[in-house]
Amino acid sequence: MIEKSSAELYNDYRLQMNKIADVRYASAVLQWDQETYLPQKGAAIRGQQIATLSEIAHRFFTDDTLGGAMQGILNKNDLPFRENRNVELTWEDYTKQKKFTSAFVRELSETVSKSYHSWMEARKANDFSLFAADLSKLIELKRKEADLLGYTDHPYNALLNDHDKGSTVALLDGVFKNMRASLKDIVQQIVGRPQVRDSFLFQYYPRDKQWEFGLRLIKELGYDLEAGRQDISEHPFTTNFNSNDVRITTRIHENDLSSMVWSCIHELGHALYEQGLPEDQYGLPAGEPASYSIHESQSRLWENHIGRSQSFCERYLPVLQEYFPDQLKNISVEDFYKGINKVQPSPIRTEADEVTYHFHVMIRYELEKKLIEGSLETLDIPGYWNEQYSNYLGIKIADDKQGCLQDVHWSHGSFGYFPTYSMGSFYAAQLFFEAAKAIPALESEIRKGNTEPLLKWLKTNIYRHGRTLTSEELCESVCGKPLDIHYFLKHILAKYKNIYNF
């Protein structure tokens, strides 16, 4: 029997990975539909359909034939960097997935689907207890997942690593400890100053006009609507089925303009990343994002460094005044800029300002850590949540919907995701600093409504690498050094000193 060359083995590997991606993305289409258009009575069977596809994808991925092809390639080690790196990363994923039985994968998928619908019902009824039983089962499965994967020091490490390779409790404890004191100091400085006015954001803004503006905004900022679409959902999110089919959702509150505008920009950042990944690497690591932290760096970069900048306000306040002349007729660019950057503790994470946002993340991080280690029970979540919001932000939580039911993540089984929001913000500040150095006219281009130079820079420096580099490797390749939280602290200190004059 003639031994196959590395090129032939790689072709076998690529074809199998394409087939696995087909199944996974078919499941993702069903999940997207589940969160946007699925009728209520279709929930139970939809969960079964998604579980079946998840089980099939797992079976394909853990097939010994695929493993043999990868071993042959890795033993020869004579392919170009990207091809070799694809195989190395897939081998890591393969060895992890081999630790899970098909029955476990199916049970986890079914539990996630059931949990999502019970979360939706609990939100409608404003009653955490309706979600508690399914969530409790899901937490048990995530603990089992951590045990199956294996970990050092803390079971939560296994789940953190799945969202950002190399992330650990020890690392995050240190980052949040250092950040907490600095953020508290900035908040205290702001509290002592006269508060800025943002009441103009909370007038009546008709739903259809908000929707029209949102579509115009994401298109002008670079979203390819021939390779994506926007819809409405309970919680804004981004999903993709390939780089030419990337979908986002938003939500509209007719008495809160900011909710729609900045959720659109946030999800746009995610979508631009997905649309910019190498099309010819479909189903392979080089066609996937570097990590959830880098993914969040893209959404936070667009939402905060672009969407809450003075230049953005100069460009888009006049546009908003075209859509809402009565509501915004007496608002200046300076008033608008200050209003959209108001710092004030609030109960909702997705609508929090840049400074207090990270207290929301810290609370969720500490809570998840306790749930996974078993020192906090599911039924104790509302009490713990409310206590921590009082301790960190001085807020009294009114109800479960405003409190521990506000995020969709747990119903998806996404334990270990929340820390990436803060890490993403820190990466965003450092990456944006480098982008501004490379594009001297960046601010003036944004003022003109031209974000193409920034998008081109991101494609060249971030998107094209896919998952071939870790978060830290990518940061070093772009910035010449690993993550440094002082870029973020410098950014918010300069910004809010100017806004609050302290």
Q: Which two tokens stand for residue 444?
A: 């003036």
Owner of token pair 């490379």: 438
Instruction: Decide if 169 contacts 366 (C-beta within 8 A).
Output: no
Nearest to 498 by CA among 301, 304, 309: 309
Tell me how far the alpha carbon of residue 123 is from its chain's centroid.
Answer: 21
Q: Catalytic annotation on 267?
A: yes
State whether the Cα torsion 438-441-446-451 is positive or negative: negative
Torsion of CA 48, 119, 137, 63, to 10 degrees: 40
Which one of the listed residues 145, 267, 354, 366 is annotated catalytic?
267
> Which string of DSSP letters, residue by residue, matches 213-263?
HHHHHHHHTT--TTSEEEEE-SS--EEEEETTEEEEEE--BTTBHHHHHHH
The CA-based dihedral angle spanning residues 44, 45, 51, 53, taken in that order and rounded to the nearest 10 degrees: -160
Q: Are 30 and 53 in contact (CB under 8 A)?
A: yes
User: Exposed e or buried b for every residue in 154-163, given b needs 16+ CB within 10 A?
Assistant: bbbbbbbbbb
Residues 6 or more apart whose Cβ sits within 8 Å of residue 409: 415, 417, 418
Q: How far is Cα 382 from Cα 436, in angstroms, rounded to an integer? A: 43
| Dist. CA 463–CA 297, nearest whole Å | 12
CB 287 within 8 A of CB 466: yes
Q: Which residues are catalytic?
A: 267
